[in-house]
Amino acid sequence: MNYQRSTEIISPIMSTVTRRSPMATGRISEATGALSVVDIYVTSYLIPTNDDETEFVAVDGGLDHNAYNINQALNRRGHSLRKVVAFVLTHADPDHTGAIHQLGSDIPVYSSQKESDVLDGKSPSECLLKSSVARVSKLMSPIVEGVKAEVITADDVIKIGQLTIRPISLPGHTGGSLGYAISRDHRKSRWDIFPGDALEFRRNGNATRAAKVVSANITDAEQSIVHLDDVIDAEGYRNGKVWPGHSGPGDISAIKAYRQILQRQRQ
């Protein structure tokens, strides 16, 4: 079966349906020096682990041919694919695991226990079970073989090179979704936040949760926005931006504004 072909056919349809227009591939973040790698409607991120930018940690793996896109992005900066030294996974939906299935047997992959089980083929994604949109997207990135992840929780801190990577538990879109606060030099309090699909930004800059149709549990998804805002305040994450899986970036302050909208709706 030609999976590449199914991707070419379905991806433009998904892009139209979701009306998303991610940013262009390239350097995006002043705080961490992250690069975006955009594949039609989903973005993975490459964050340099040192000042020379010789090694990178990837947040998520995109669609099934995304190792090619990552390689292209690094080649343009004079690097090659082997310079990706680890993946941190927000969740194991197939539009986020493409390059991980291609490369994850050689490179450490960090994820929550629940998403690790999906990545490994032990359990199906909750989102895929629930959503017809997501079931269609599964056609784009069939799991070729299971990948073993190193399981992490929100209590862990991952240090790779100059990077400090702190997981944040954000269930809702999927049961085991993690976001990550990442800093190249945490002493300067410059943190970028990578929420995966827990959050996205509208064109006017307002934050919103992922659509109901692609969320496993909408109550949890909304509670995760409140939790994310609490963690941002408690840990002092600032001076960076928020980089979602399916939209352009937004301001950290927009999360608090959205939290207040959610709380008003509950009253």
Contact assessment for residue 35 and residue 46, using Cβ atoms and an 8 Å cutoff: yes
Neighbours of 51 (CB within 10 A): 11
- Nearest CB to Zn ion, comparing residues 137 and 183: 137
CB 94 to Zn ion: min, Å: 9
- Nearest CB to Zn ion, comparing residues 245 and 249: 245
Q: Give which of 213, 209, 215, 219 is closest to 244, Cα–Cα.
A: 209
- Nearest CB to Zn ion, comparing residues 95 and 117: 95
CB 124 to Zn ion: min, Å: 16
What CA–CA distance (Å, rounded) separates 129 from 55? 36
Return phi, psi of residue 194, to 5°.
-120, 95
- Nearest CB to Zn ion, comparing residues 179 and 245: 245
DSSP per-residue letters across 127-172: HHHH-HHHHHHHTTS---S--PPEE--TT--EEETTEEEEEEE--S
CB 118 to Zn ion: min, Å: 13
CB 221 to Zn ion: min, Å: 13
What CA–CA distance (Å, rounded) separates 11 from 17? 10
Contact positions vs Zn ion (CB under 5 A): 95, 197, 245
CB 159 to Zn ion: min, Å: 27
What CA–CA distance (Å, rounded) separates 38 from 188? 28
- Nearest CB to Zn ion, comparing residues 77 and 138: 138
